[in-house]
Each structure stands twice: as structure tokens, then as C-alpha cells.
Structure 1
Amino acid sequence: MTEHDAAVVQGDPIPKARIEAFLERAGWPAHPRGAGPYQCAAPPRGATSHDEPAHAHRHTTAPPSDRRARDERQRRRWATQVVVTDELARRACAARGLRPPPEASPTLVAESAVADLGSIVATALAHSPAARALLAELEREQPVPDEAAWEYYTRNRDRHLTPDALRRGVNPFHGATDTDFVPYEQARDSITAELRRAAGRRAFFDWLDQARVGVEYAPGHEHPGDPSHPDHEHRH
């Protein structure tokens, strides 16, 4: 690894210039004048082990200039994780024979996606066609037995009230009749899709956890929650 590299993935360096280019595209320049359009996606202060944004901790003793410098370092570490995820996904797609669609213009990362996936993974999926292609493939691979769909239907009856039952304020757990619920045969496909999507996301997280085990990081580009650097802030 040279002084120009941010990380090494499977023996190949990721140059620091690639991290800075991502920050510029995402609206987070190396020396930001404003928050940029990715404010909801880029937590400047830490991440959980599954990449979710950490609660901001208040540092009342540090001067503003020190806080800005720390936040910029954390932002760069966060961006490194996004770029590394993209690089790992590219390699996984190549190994699987998947051909991701061409790069598209970046879009704002929805706060709901950040809440569901964590800021790093949500942003990687928004920016990386390879990550999206891999996630879609993993979803397609997930088996969903009919027994699992039926169990979900019976355990979540409140989610399958008919529109008329909802208008009448029917209590799904007391006094409701079979006619107040969408029949299982009609709900099965959507339930199966939901369960497959959830299983695909779990598979994606499992893949990512394993894929980045051997990644080496240059000082200043570690995971934002890595306790080995002094700026880290981490919660579970």
C-alpha cells in the first residue's frame, strides 16, 4: 500500500482519489462548505457494526474547528466504506457472471433506506449498480417455503385486513371474522416477495461481512466505528 492508497482489496489498491471523487459526487467535498444533498445518508460521527448511523454525541469541550476536522475525517472513513462495498460488489458480480447496468446519476438516499439498511449500505446501493445487481441476485436465490408464507399470514393478521374492514375500524384480534381479511391465496404472492426481500438483505449483509474481512485500510480510512482510531464513535 502506498501513500496514495486508501485501502487494498484482494491485493489491489483503491486510490485515495477514488474516495475524494465519490465525496464530490455525493455532495460531500473534502473541505465541505455545506452539508450537500446526502446529509441524511452520511453520518459524520460513527456507525454501528451493521453500518447504521450512530446517534450524534455532543462534544462540548472541543473547539468548533476540532469538531469540523474530526467530522471530515469520519466522513472520509465513511466514504471509504461505501467505495469498498462497491468494489467488493463489482468483484462478486464478475465471479457470478452478473453484468450490472451502467452507472446512473446519483440520487438522494431516502431516510427510510438509511433506517432499514444503515447509511453505508443504503448509500452503496444508491450509487453502485454492482451492489444493486448483487442484492437482486441474492434475493432471487432465497427460497420461501409456502409454510413460511402461511405462518407469516397467520401471525400478522392485522396487516391483511380488507379495505372495508379498515374503514370500519375492525379490531383484527377481537371480533373480526374471516370476511374481514384478505384471503391467503390473494396475499401469498406479496408475502412471499416480502420474505424473499428480507432474506436477500440478510444474505447481502452476510456476504459483505465476509467479503471485507481481508480488506486493509490506510490510516485515516478505517471504518468510522473502528475503536482503533481516536475519532471512532460506535453503538450497538
Structure 2
Amino acid sequence: MSGHAALVGGAAVPVERVDTVLDAVPARDPQTRPEALARAQRQRRRWATQVVVVDELARRACAERGLAPPPEVSPARVLAVSGTEVADLGSIVAVALAHSPAVRALLAALEAEQQVTQEAARAYYDRNPDRFLTAEALRRGVDPYGAARPGDFVPFRDVRDEVVRELRRAVGRQAFFDWLDGARAAVEYAPGYEHPGDPSHPDHEHRH
């Protein structure tokens, strides 16, 4: 293998950074057959490269935005990622968030930039009545889309701030993914470190 896994804006990303992620994240599906094990190891290396690339891109974005340089993470740190985060974000971004202070700083900045209007919050409240039933209504098994009464719902004024925070978080995450899609255009991968879903290599798979 070459000494770098990828070039980001022409700057080399060392293979050692990929190895750090591989050491911190256990194999998801241990394989026993030699050919399956070899394929899984190739895909894990490509997957870990994506985690490192997201970290590198976020470091550069933080520098461009004047965000405080985040502290380094100990290479020995074991990355704990919840199943909910993986389901919401995909495994690459979920692990990048756990691994990279720069990714967390950038995501927080993007979330803070989002403006959520009261009208948008109210529209969300009205579209999702099942989320705002009172505890008593839930105990009675009230159908929020059926014969529910106004008193069966927590008033909008009591949940408005929570709804705004949730919508800002969702829009901020979408802004992060939009940023990442554009930022990846500056990345060139060394052979063997391509995206695991890249169809140009024979054992590709779509794994996020």
C-alpha cells in the first residue's frame, strides 16, 4: 500500500490515520472463510478511509470558518456509536462524529446557523399529532388521527421551543450532508482506499 490513503486538496492523508480508526472500531461482522475475511478487510479499510476523510474535510472547514481548533482525540479511544445515530446518519458520519472533534464543531456551527420560523414549527406540530399526546391520552389509547379532543394534546406553546430545536437539528444535519457532498469533490483516493460503494472496484457495496 502507498503511504497515503487519499489526497484532500492535494494534501496527503496518511494511512496511519486510517489504521487508527480500524484499531478503534471492531469488525461489525467477523468472517471465518478466507475469501470473505479478505473482502471484509478491504471494505473496512475503505470504510475507515471515509471516516478519516470526513474528519480531514471538517478540519479544513473549521479553519476556513475560524472555528477554534478542536483538540486531538487519543488514538486509543474506543468509539461508541449508538444504533440510532447509525440509522439517522449512516455509519460513516456517525463514527466520524464520535471520532472527530472537528466534525462535531462543524455540525454544531451549521445547526446554529439554521433559522426555524414559528410557522414552520407550528406546521410540524399540526402534521404530527401522534407526537404530542398527553400522558393521560396515551394511557387511554387515544387515536391522535381519530376521535381525539383538543385536551388530549400538549399545547403548542408548551412544546414550541422543543420543536424548534428538533427542526433546527434536522435542517442542520441536512446542511452538513450538503456540505459533505460538495467537499468530497476535492478528494482523490489511493488504490485500495476508494469509497466502499464505488462501482469502479469489483467488490463494492453501498455502506454508509
The TM-score, its normalising length taken from structure 1, stands at 0.81
> Are 1:80 and 2:49 counterparts?
yes
Partners in 2 of 1:106 and 1:135 — Cα distance? Answer: 21
3-state SS, counterpart of residue 182 of structure 1? coil
Query: Segments of 4+ in structure 1 off by > 6 A?
Result: none
Contact 1:7–1:215 (Cα < 8 Å) also in 2? yes
Shift in Å, 1:198: 0.5
Partners in 1 of 2:5 and 2:104 — Cα distance? Answer: 24
Match of 1:184 in 2: 156
Shift in Å, 1:5: 1.1
**Aligned pair count?**
204
Match of 1:97 in 2: 66
Partners in 1 of 2:158 and 2:170 — Cα distance? Answer: 20
**1:13-92 alignment to 2 at 5 Å?**
13-27=12-26, 35=27, 39=28, 64-92=33-61
Q: What amino acid is the match of 1:22?
A: V
Q: What amino acid is the match of 2:194?
A: E
Shift in Å, 1:112: 1.1
Match of 1:115 in 2: 87
Q: What amino acid is the match of 1:92?
A: A
Partners in 2 of 1:155 and 1:64 — Cα distance? Answer: 50
More helix by share: 2
Partners in 2 of 1:114 and 1:100 — Cα distance? Answer: 26
Shift in Å, 1:21: 2.2
Shift in Å, 1:101: 4.2
Q: What amino acid is the match of 1:220?
A: G
Question: Any idea what the Cα deviations from partners look like across 1:67-86, whole Å, max 9, x if unmatched?
Answer: 11111011000000000000
Contact 2:114–2:172 (Cα < 8 Å) also in 1? yes
Match of 2:114 in 1: 142
3-state SS, counterpart of residue 6 of structure 1? strand
Partners in 1 of 2:142 and 2:109 — Cα distance? Answer: 39
Contact 2:196–2:207 (Cα < 8 Å) also in 1? no
Shift in Å, 1:25: 2.6
- For residue 174 of structure 1, the aligned residue among 131, 141, 146 is 146
Match of 1:198 in 2: 170
Question: Any idea what the Cα deviations from partners look like across 1:60-117, whole Å, max 9, x if unmatched?
Answer: xxx9211111110110000000000000001101111112542454431111111110
> Are 1:126 and 2:98 counterparts?
yes
